[in-house]
Structures are given as structure tokens and as C-alpha cells.
Amino acid sequence: MRDTASGVRHTAIRAYRKVRARARRHGRRIRQHWRTATPQQRQTAGVTAGAAALGLVLAVTAVATSGPWDSGQRTAERSRAAAREGRSGGNHTGDAPRAPRVLAALDMEAVRGGAAGGGRDAKPSHGPGAAGVPPPSEAALADILEPLLKDGDLGKHRGVSVVDAATGRKLYGSKPRTAATPASTVKVATAAAALTALGADHRITTRVVRGKGEDEVVLVGGGDPTLSSGALDGLARDTARKLRGHDGGKISVRYDTSRYSGPLRHSIGTNDNLAPVSPLMVDEARLKGGSGSGDGQDGDAPAHGPAPRSTDPAEDAAEAFADALGEHGVDVDNEPKEAKAPGKAKELAAHRSAPVSALVERMLTYSDNDIAEALARQTALAAGEPASFKGAGKAVRRTLGKLDVPLKGARFADGSGLDRDGKVSPALLTSLLVRAADPGHAALRPVLTGMPVAHFTGTLDSRYGSDKGKQGAGLVRAKTGTLTGVHTLAGTVVDADGRLLAFAFMASGSTDGKGAQGSLDSLAAALANCGCRESPSGS
């Protein structure tokens, strides 16, 4: 009796697997032909698919009723649960070595190496995506994008670049190599330059060293804008421990900001969006009681968004450090003063920032201007340029040149995009995104993993909820850019066939900011809904 039951269960399992495999094959074929079908054909196909789905549901229900069961759980469920374990996408800011899993479907070697892979010497017909489905055609993209690009909300200038992320092949463009003001999408370039120059694992160090005498300590700013109040207190605690052997006299506190040069203040002047760019600051120089989200202290999420800032971040940080030393039992003499640390000074304590990979992700997710300017200056230091606005701009351009991306017309006036004199082209942005998706440039992967997710995270959390944009929710990952009259969006999207596309939309001259953002979202959502190989109009 038991053998008979076992045989029935095995037969049911085999039947279920055959039905499932057949359904998948038919599903792929239907999807490939759907985009080129006429409305009448689509209606017929819809009725047929509905009948087939009903039959599949009945078959699966029959199998589920009879088993197979094992200790109160279907074995198929157990297998699926085991396969999915550890694959949650909730933590997209994990360690850099795990980041490639976010785009595990990209098989760049297969794409470039085989005749069906869309390599440079092959016919562009196959590649990543649903089994053998090629990227959208230029004619198909033109049909869906060009009507949207005519939207008057976008202003007079419109630049577009859409490329296949796997091959880098251009799929659609409108003035793709015309440089324009990028606003915050320039942070894509800042991120790529910092990761290239410094490496994903590099950390920025804030140190405390001996001063000119035994009764003097120097707080040395390394350029970490994310240094928190808690971390500063930790530096004071560790310093106090090292000073316990001191003869009991008072200690003088000095602070060193010599790592940066040039003006501290951005050309936009005093602004809640950016603190003076100093190598020494605490909590991004946010004043207590500001309007930023989170306070960065006591375990809360790091603060982000506009907030009142200190006019002298370094002095405020040094004063907070001196106060913390006093709380840890050190008798501090007078107010802190600025002074350069002696060469080869003995280190008393040090704090290292999160790795550059994590800083890049935070910068992109929340469009953090303070981190952007810090990463631009760190790039300058790595390239041997002065750590100033001008030196950082030169270093970013030179570093990006190593990635073989189109830099004609590009000008990097700052790292954040707040300066309107900055200029990049849509083609440059999509080229950087393609490099970040390439396993050959694994260190650049945080450029992709840090992108806000449409309708869910960062600067896109309140967008893609309307009828125009909802098709892109969860599928579009993009960096936003907004200045008065300037609206940009650059990122990646998975289309209806599973292809990863990189895009950049740049518009200027708009008088309706909300309308312009909605139009950009509609463009990206249209890409998410597209999987067509041929023009829907039949051209």
C-alpha cells in the first residue's frame, strides 16, 4: 500500500514539473511576440492565455491536494524556501564584495563572447534578459519616448541617452553628447571617480595626535563629513586614556584643517543644503534642532536633507572635542585654537569612516551634498591635486578619463551639482552606469546599488505613485537632479523582457518643477513597460 502511494506521488511530481516547464516555455514565446502583435491578436491571445492559466491552476491544485507531503510541509515549498534563503534585497548597502549579487543576471562574458551575445563583432540579437530576448530597438524606443519628450513641462532643452547596460550599445539618443547642467546627477560622476581613485574599501581617518609639547593635543581633520557626535566622544575617551600618565597639568586643544585648501564656502553661499567644506566637522555641521531627517546620534539613522549649518564646522568640532575630554577627566586649558599638527606626531586616537562604497551609496540615495564634496576632495588628494573646488574638478575629470567615457564638454565645477557651471552629457552618465554594471569594474558597483528605488527609497520615495509613473515603481533606480529650471534623472531600469537599460534624461528651461519631475518619471516608467524589439507602429 505504501509503495502504491509513493508511486502515485512521484507520478504527480513528474506531471507537475512537465506542466510547469511547458508553461514557462509558452510564456517566454508569448512574451516575445506580444509587443509586435496587433490589438486584435492581443485580444485573442488574452483569451487563450486565460484558458491556459485556468488549466494550469487546476493541475497545480490537484498536485497540491495529493502531496507530496513531508512532516506536514510540501517538499516543493521547502525546496523553494531553501533556495530563497539569504536573497533578500532589503539591505542594498551591504559590504562591497556582495554588491554584484544585485545584478547577478548580467553575464557580461556571455554577452560579449558569443555570436548570440551581442558582442561588438556579433549581431546584436541576444543577451541578458528573458532567454534570448534582445534589447528594445531604436524604432520601438522612439515610438514610446518621443511623444513624452514633447511635453512642454520639460522646458526648451532635452537631452536623452538610453543604452543596453550589458553591451553598452546605444539604443536611443536625442542630443546625447550635448553637455548641459546636470544638477545632482553629477554625483554619479563624483561617485565613479572616488571609487576609481580610492577603492571601495578606503576609509577616511580623523586623528588625535600629540602637539608641540606634552601638554598639547591636536584634532586632525581627515575630511570625513559623517563623523558623528558619538564617534567624536569615542576619540575623546580614547585620548583621555592615553593621557592618564600625564603629570596632571592642563591640556591645550588644537585643531588642524590643513588637509583642504581654497575657499570653504560653495559659490551658492550660505545654504541649508551644504555646510562650509571643511575637513573637520561633526554630523555634517548640522545645528541641533535643524530640519534634517534623523539626527545621526544615539543610534538613529544618519541625518539627511536641508538643515541649518554651522558657519565654522571645524571650530565647533574642536570645542565639542574639548568638552568631551573634560567629561572624560581631562583638565582642558582655554578654548581650542587652530594649528597645524607637527610632522610625525605621535597618534593618540583615531576614527575611521565607513568605507567609500558605503559613503557613495548614502550620497546617492539621499543626494547628500556634504558627502559629495568630501568625496570630490578625497579624489583630488589621491590624484595629487589641491583639495579645493578647482583641484577636485580637475581630479574628477582626469580620473574619469581612465574609464574611457565620453568627456567632451564636461566640466566639474563641484562634486554635488549645486554649481550651475558644471556640465556633463547624457552619454557620459549612461557610460558611467554601464561601467558600474561591468564585472570588470566591480569596484564601481556601489554606483548602482546606491541609486534610490522608485517609490520606495531616498529621493524617489515620494515619486512614481501617480498613474503616469507607477509602472516604474520598484523597477527604476535613478539619481535625481533638481535646480531651479533644471531637472535631470539618470539610472537603470529593468524592462518588460528583463533587460537592464541605463538611461539619462536631462531637461532645462522648465517653469513647472513638479510637472518636469512627473514627465521624467513617465519617461523612465515607459522604459520599464517596454520590451519591444520592433516598433509598435510597424515601421
pLDDT of 246: 63
Task: Categorize the per-residue pLDDT at 110 as very low, low, confident or very high, splitting at 50, 70 and 90.
Answer: very low
Residue 15, pLDDT score: 52
Q: Which residues, 6 or more positions from 465, have their beta carbon under 8 angstroms from its beta carbon?
A: 455, 473
Instruction: Name every residue whose Cβ is closer than 8 Å to that of residue 377 and which is 6 or more positions away in sequence.
Output: 223, 260, 277, 279, 387, 388, 391, 392, 415
Q: Tell me if the bond preceding 342 is cis, omega within 30° of 0.
A: no
**pLDDT score for 277:** 97
Q: Where does the pLDDT of residue 207 fall: very low under 50, low under 70, confident under 90, or very high at 90 and above?
A: very high
Q: What is the mean pLDDT of residues 450-464?
A: 95
Statement: residue 398 has pLDDT above 70: yes
Mean pLDDT along residues 12-36: 45
350 pairs with which residues across the strands? 207
Cα distances (Å, whole numbers) of residue 79 to 61, 69, 74, 278, 503: 18, 12, 9, 54, 37
Residue 343 has pLDDT above 80, yes or no: yes
Residue 52, pLDDT score: 47
Amino acid identity for residue 316 in this structure = D
Domain ranges of the chain: 138-200+360-528, 203-288+306-354
* Rg, the chain, Cα only: 28
Q: Which residue has the higher pLDDT, 465 or 404?
A: 404
The letter for the amino acid at 363 is M
Higher-confidence position of 71 and 306: 306
Mean pLDDT for 476-489 is: 97
Catalytic site positions: 184, 187, 367
What is the average per-residue pLDDT within 359-378?
98
Q: How confident is the model at residue 307 (pLDDT cuts 50, 70, 90)?
A: very high
Residue 336, all three cell numbers: 581650542
Q: How confident is the model at residue 80 (pLDDT cuts 50, 70, 90)?
A: very low
Q: Is pLDDT larger for residue 469 or for residue 309? A: 309
Task: Let me know if the fold of 138-200+360-528 is the same as that of 203-288+306-354.
Answer: no
Residue 38: pLDDT band with limits 50, 70, 90:
very low
pTM exceeds 0.85? no
Summarised one tens digit per residue, pLDDT across range 414-443 is: 999 999 999 999 999 999 999 999 999 999
Cα separation, 4 vs 219, in Å, equals 79
CATH fold for domain 203-288+306-354: D-tyrosyl-trna(Tyr) Deacylase; Chain: A; (3.50.80)
Q: For residue 253, what are the β-bridge partners?
A: 217
The CATH class of 138-200+360-528 is alpha beta
Each residue's pLDDT tens digit, 113-149: 332 233 333 333 334 454 467 889 999 999 999 999 9
pLDDT of residue 469: 79
Residue range 179-197: average pLDDT? 98
* pLDDT, tens only, 241-255: 999 866 667 999 999
Average pLDDT estimate for 513-527:
95
Measured distance CA(314)–CA(9) in Å, rounded: 72
Helical H segments across 38-114, by residue range: 39-66, 75-84, 108-113
205 pairs with which residues across the strands? 352
pLDDT at 214 over 90: no
- 13-27, 221-235, 505-519, 522-536: least confidently modelled range: 13-27
Asked which of 100-109, 231-240, 307-316, 482-491 is least confident by mean pLDDT, the reply is 100-109
Query: Percentage of the chain with pLDDT > 90?
Result: 64
460 has pLDDT over 50: yes
Helix (H, G, I), strand (E, B) or coil at 419: coil
The answer to whether residue 294 scores a pLDDT higher than 90 is no
- pLDDT value, residue 336: 96
Q: Report CA dihedral (246, 249, 250, 256) to the nearest 10 degrees.
A: -40
**Mean pLDDT, residues 342-357:** 96
